[in-house]
Amino acid sequence: MPRPQLRASQLIRSFGPGCMVDLPDYSVIIGGTDKWRYNKSQPLPTIHEPRLVTKLIELTGIADLSLRKPPPAIEDVTGFTPDIAAYRFPEWFIVQKPFKTSLGFTARRLIHMNDLEKGKFRDDDGGKYPVVPVRFVRACPAGHVGDILWRVFVHGEGGSCQRELILEERGTSGDLEGVFVRCACGVERRMSEAARAGVTALGYCDGNRPWLGPYTKDKECSQPSRLLIRNATNAYFSQIMTVISISDSNDAIDEAVSSLWETHLSAVETVEVLTAMLHIPIVKGRLEDFTPEEIMSAIDKRRNGTETDERPVKEVEFEALVKAKEEQGPDVPNGDFYARSLPPAKWNEDWMDSVEKIVLVHRLREVIAQVSFTRFESTGPDIEGELELDVKPAPLGLDVSWLPAVENRGEGIFIQFKADAIQEWLSRPAVKERDSVLQAGFELWHKEHENSKRKYPGLPYFMLHSLSHLLVTTISLECGYPTSSIRERVYALQGKYGILIMTGSPDAEGTLGGLVDEGRRIATHIRTALEMGRLCSNDPVCALHDPQQPDRQPLLGSACHGCVLISETCCEQRNDFLDRALVVPTVMGLGAEFFSI
């Protein structure tokens, strides 16, 4: 019998297929992209971003891949009509009728969904009691997830007892050591046994993929099942890839066509249609310097994606940002990119002598696509913006020909650093010594993740990434956007170094200009960020941190939640590769700082 099917249209904007979400009365898992329903009478809401599509085709091997927006929910006279499915998961529940055992411990019944009557449990006393989904499920790193076989867990393979199960808490902390699953026959087992490394208490994965619907198991998986708290932070990691919409070419005709694409030119396929379009004043004004043949060539290039090249994502973005002079790109309401270089006279201070250029990005478009997802361990783009799949990705649908994506429009501040200043800093003995310490931490991490393709990012990335976090915190106090709304892109390529602090929203055509306005005071913000980074509220413990310490933080130097760590949604590396000792002097006085303020 198929699982009950629920609808949860808006959830996909924050959680992708395969994500477990708590609703008021039960828990669901968001259905795969096969369950997305679009209005057939309207054009599909696709997103045009050739550079991103080309990268994703190489990554996934899907030849005719496209990007598609989530289907909008429809609310009309017939009521609310959401267009994304969700399946009830898990199927085991805890009855919200606690009772005391003979030893005084709190216990609750553990029941299956088939024992419910209209969402409630009828007890022997005739009363109907509410239930909540059990918080324990089993999963594997390939993304498969399923209910724990509770009777097998308690009695072992071959057990035939069908008496009632009870979840008993012998303590007040909720720690797994104090949580027992007990059968009415007297057999019991501690939940902590399911969480111990190397123990197969939960059996082996059966390839269950409830987000794809019934009868969709992956029979090739036989990894040991691991205990997963379904609402824990490691229950779901989206594998996403992001690009900023900047044409690989800076030709004026490409920029003009790009500015008119969504509003006028996307449907132009013949010279005759183009000729009619050229009678529209705004189209004529922007294209009057070009011949119809040149315009059609630019339109075909935009439509077919031939405007892309094979350079890394961030290299294209960096080169476009540093080329910004007085202005870059068309300053039009629907434009994708518009930037101005801030004259040095407005920002050049003593503590800014290593800065090459400040660019105010008045308008930018960011496209984010989800490729797949993982559980237990995150994997994301490398420092060049390229996505590498370290583990077998969990599919978003049964037949994937397109990927879900969103586009954000916003603004930003770009800071370019002098390459020779960074090279001089790297040559110092204290900096080289710090590099050895951080590399040792990375090697320790890599021993625990032998299958990972992740590479040591290098000291420039550590330094720029740490400075970026300090700036995000500082700027958020003045620009009007909360820290969680500001994101970063760190450029630490060979001879190309910079930081882009940006914000954006899918619900508005741009932002209010608060970030750009603070960019005109960037010298003050950098000074404040450097002063803030010198001392942490957790010093000297934070400053003394060694990546090789057994504290599960091998990718961090002097960094903690009191100084450098910010919301993981803002950070492109999920708060890894940070060390404020590379930015400013700390109480340790290592001498490895880039800024001597």
Residue spans of alpha helices (H) in 19-149: 50-60
Q: What is the pLDDT of residue 331?
A: 60
How far are the Cα atoms of 139, 225, 480 from residue 11, in angstroms, in the given order? Answer: 22, 27, 26
Task: Give me the pLDDT at residue 417, please.
Answer: 95
H or E, element range at 591? none
CA distances to 63, 244, 307, 456, 460 from 312, rounded to whole Å, are: 20, 12, 14, 17, 18
User: How many Å is the Cα radius of gyration of the chain?
Assistant: 27
Give the containing element (helix H, strand E) for 434: helix 429-448
Which amino acid, 21? V
Which residues are bridge partners to 263 per DSSP?
Answer: none
Q: How far is CA 107 from CA 93, 97, 297, 331, in A?
A: 13, 9, 72, 65
Angle between helices 419-426 and 459-479 (to 10 degrees): 120
Report which secondary-structure segment, H or E, holds 114: none
Cβ-in-10-Å burial (0-12, 13-18, 19+) of 207 comes to middle
pLDDT on residue 103: 77
Nearest to 331 by CA among 277, 406, 275, 411: 411
Other Cβ atoms closer than 10 A to 354: 15
- What DSSP character marks residue 390? -
Instruction: Provide the whole-model pTM.
Output: 0.79
What CA–CA distance (Å, rounded) separates 540 from 590? Answer: 13
Give me the pLDDT at residue 6, please.
38
Query: Tokens for 597?
Result: 């303020």
Confidence (pLDDT) at 5: 39
DSSP letter, residue 261 = I
| 544-563 CB burial, b ≥16 within 10 A, e <16 | ebebeeeeebbbbbbbbeeb
Q: Where are the beta strands (DSSP E) in 343-468?
A: 355-374, 402-417
Query: What is the per-residue pLDDT for 464?
Result: 96
Tokens of 295: 């315009």
Q: In whole angstroms, give the CA distance from residue 585 to residue 583.
A: 7
Q: What is the rounded distance in angstroms from the CA atom of residue 133 to the CA atom of residue 345?
A: 61
339's torsion region: left (phi>0), alpha (psi -120 to 50) or beta? Answer: beta
CA distance 507 to 524: 31
Which pLDDT value is given to residue 2?
A: 36
Bridge partners, residue 100, by sequence: 106
- Cβ atoms 412, 501 nearer than 8 A: yes
Letter for the amino acid at 582?
Answer: L
Cα dist from 314 to 191, 224, 319, 567, whole Å: 46, 38, 9, 22
Closest CA to 361 of 465, 232, 499, 248: 499
72: Cβ–Cβ under 8 A, 6 or more apart, which residues?
Answer: 9, 45, 83
Q: Count Cβ atoms below 10 Å from residue 150 Cβ, excluding itself.
A: 19
> From the CB of residue 230, how many other CB atoms can be counted at a distance below 10 Å?
20
CA-to-CA dists, residue 375 to 108, 141, 177, 399, 575, angstroms: 29, 5, 23, 21, 18
Two structure tokens written together for 145: 């997830």
User: How would you write the pLDDT of the chain (597 residues) with one tens digit per residue?
Assistant: 333 333 333 333 457 888 888 887 788 898 888 888 887 777 778 888 888 888 888 888 888 888 988 887 666 555 555 678 888 999 999 888 888 877 778 888 898 988 888 888 888 777 888 889 998 999 988 889 999 998 888 888 777 788 888 888 887 677 788 888 888 888 888 888 888 766 678 888 888 999 998 888 888 788 888 999 888 888 888 888 888 887 654 456 776 787 787 778 888 888 888 888 888 888 887 787 778 887 888 888 777 755 555 677 888 888 888 887 765 555 665 667 888 888 888 888 888 889 999 999 888 888 999 888 888 877 777 777 777 665 667 888 888 888 999 888 888 999 999 999 999 999 999 999 999 999 999 999 988 877 777 889 999 999 999 999 999 999 988 877 777 788 899 999 888 999 999 987 766 544 666 888 888 999 999 999 999 999 999 989 999 999 988 777 899 999 999 999 998 878 888 889 999 999 999 998 889 999 987
Q: Please give the full DSSP string across 167-236, using - where no structure is assigned.
A: EEE-SSS--GGGEEEEETTS-EEETHHHHSTT--TT-B-----GGG-SS---TT--PBPEEEETTSGGG-
User: 179: which 2 tokens?
Assistant: 């949580």
